[in-house]
Amino acid sequence: DIQMTQSPSAMSASVGDRVTITCRASQGISNYLAWFQQKPGKVPKRLIYASSSLQSGVPSRFSGSGSGTEFTLTISSLQPEDFATYYCLQHNSFPLTFGGGTKVEIK
Amino acid sequence: QVQLVESGGGVVQPGGSLRLSCAASGFSFSNNGMHWVRQAPGKGLEWVACVWSDGNNKYYADSVKGRFTISKDNSKNMLYLQMNSLRGEDTAVYYCATPLSGNEHYWGQGTLVTVSS
């Protein structure tokens, strides 16, 4: 099974900060990686698919990059509505696996 | 618009069974595979199972293999998850979701399964 190691597990940041979250796959997954945002009590929302493609309707301050085993989600300028938990998901091979999550909190 | 509506959750005793349903509309259900994903209270997301568009190929997380069965009825636009031999660690909100490839992707609102005596 492919393990997805996500870091950091939690972070504090201020509005306007640039935020970077990383996911490392235990083996190559090409670009079969998605990023999700989840707010408390809400359904997860996909932000990025195919490693770097922005989901329709998602603000352009979100971006994704990477291929193979190293992937990054970047929020260029953190907004109040971005405080949430973020997850990566590999769908290169079964079983699909999520990263452990990154909780982004207000500093 | 795309709608996914889960049902069938509830409280069940350890060792018991439950069948979840997901009613799909607004897209070509018969041409798409589907997923179940779950989230235990206060925990992260866990992928559970996937079924291909024709219902013939199925994949499972190791944690549910042999106990859960995913199926789809293309004539009714319905996705199912039959859960047997339930354990406390199966307590979670269960979501159905559309395929991960492509620029369209949707989740239902989820249904809560509680395994407790």
pLDDT tens-place string over residues B54-104: 999 999 999 999 999 999 999 999 999 999 999 999 999 999 999 888 889
A49 chain-B contacts, CB cut-off 8 A: 100-103, 105
Say yes or no for a CB contact (<8 Å) between B45 and A38: yes
Say yes or no for a CB contact (<8 Å) between A44 and B101: no
**Least confidently predicted of A75-79, A103-107, B106-110:** A103-107
Query: What confidence score (pLDDT) does residue A44 get?
Result: 98
Cβ–Cβ contact B105 with A under 8 A: yes
pLDDT confidence band for A106 (50 / 70 / 90): confident
Say yes or no for a CB contact (<8 Å) between B45 and A98: yes
Say yes or no for a CB contact (<8 Å) between B100 and A34: yes
Which of A93, A95, A97 is CA-nearest to residue B68?
A95
Please give the Cα distance from B45 to A86 (Å, whole number). Answer: 10
pLDDT per residue over A42-67, tens digit each?
Answer: 999 999 999 999 999 999 999 999 99
Query: What confidence score (pLDDT) does residue B103 get?
Result: 85
The answer, yes or no, to whether residue B13 has pLDDT greater than 90, is yes
Please give the Cα distance from A85 to B90 (Å, whole number). Answer: 22
Q: Are A52 and A42 in contact (CB under 8 A)?
A: no
| DSSP letter (8 states) at residue B43 | S
Q: CB-based contacts of B75: which residues, under 8 Å, 6+ apart?
A: none
Task: Report chain A residues touching chain B, CB-CB < 8 A.
Answer: 1, 32, 34, 36, 38, 43-44, 46, 49-50, 53, 55-56, 87, 89, 91, 94-101
Residues above pLDDT 90, as percent of chain A: 98
B46 chain-A contacts, CB cut-off 8 A: 98
Q: Are B109 and A43 in contact (CB under 8 A)?
A: yes
